[in-house]
Structure 1
Amino acid sequence: MVLKKSYRVLVEKTFQRKVKHLPLEAKRLIEDFIRRRLQGCENPRAFGHGLSANLAGLWRYRVGDYRIICDIQDEQLIVIALACGRRDSIYSD
């Protein structure tokens, strides 16, 4: 019997604060993306892109005009949602 590894998502307080200030439709899109694509998935990298420069090691996910920045920790099988925001400002925060 082969056990499949599935990741779980942890949300940082900074992420929660950012989501709280987003428009309702954006909140729904982001929460739906996390629930459907990341929570319980076997390969969270399949849906995102690795970042470089000062954000090297982190991953970003595109949800419409918004981005979700995450840290994937393979040893613990967790995806930590660190930040979210509009594409034009997320990388400068």
Structure 2
Amino acid sequence: MERFELQFHRNAAKAFQRLPETVKQRIEEAIETLRINPFFGKDICKLKGDLAGLYRLRVGDYRVIYHVDEEHKVITIEAIGTRGEMY
């Protein structure tokens, strides 16, 4: 199975860099699993309403919001933060 390429939106990259090292490591591991299948998983949810078309990956108290371009096999990480910061 072909893996998806990962890209970070500039704001998501900045938010990621500000996280504690332990949280960064957990998020990196979780994001890496998205490259195999970004649509299904225990902590993956397709978003609705204003965020329709995006997916949410839960990593502990943090949320990773991302978009999947199936045609080009690209996942774009749009935002990273706590639940309170995301919604």
The verdict on a shared fold, with TM-score over 0.5 as the criterion, is yes
TM-score by length of 1: 0.83
- 1: distance between equivalents of 2:28 and 2:4? 16
Match in the other structure for 2:83? 87
Q: How does 1:1-93 map to 2 (within 5 A)?
A: 4-35=1-32, 37-39=33-35, 41=36, 43-47=37-41, 48-91=44-87
Task: Check conservation: 1:8, 1:38, Cα contact below 8 A.
Answer: no
**SS in structure 2 at match of 1:45:** coil
**SS in structure 1 at match of 2:31:** helix
Q: Which has the larger radius of gyration?
A: 1
Deviation at 1:51, TM superposition (A): 0.4
Structure 2 residues without counterparts, runs of 5 or longer: none
- 2: distance between equivalents of 1:12 and 1:89? 16
CA RMSD of aligned residues (A): 1.2
TM-score by length of 2: 0.88
Q: How many pairs are equivalent?
A: 85
- 2: distance between equivalents of 1:5 and 1:21? 31
Post-superposition CA distance 1:20-71 (Å, at most 9, x none) = 1212211111112112x123x0x21012110011100000000010000000
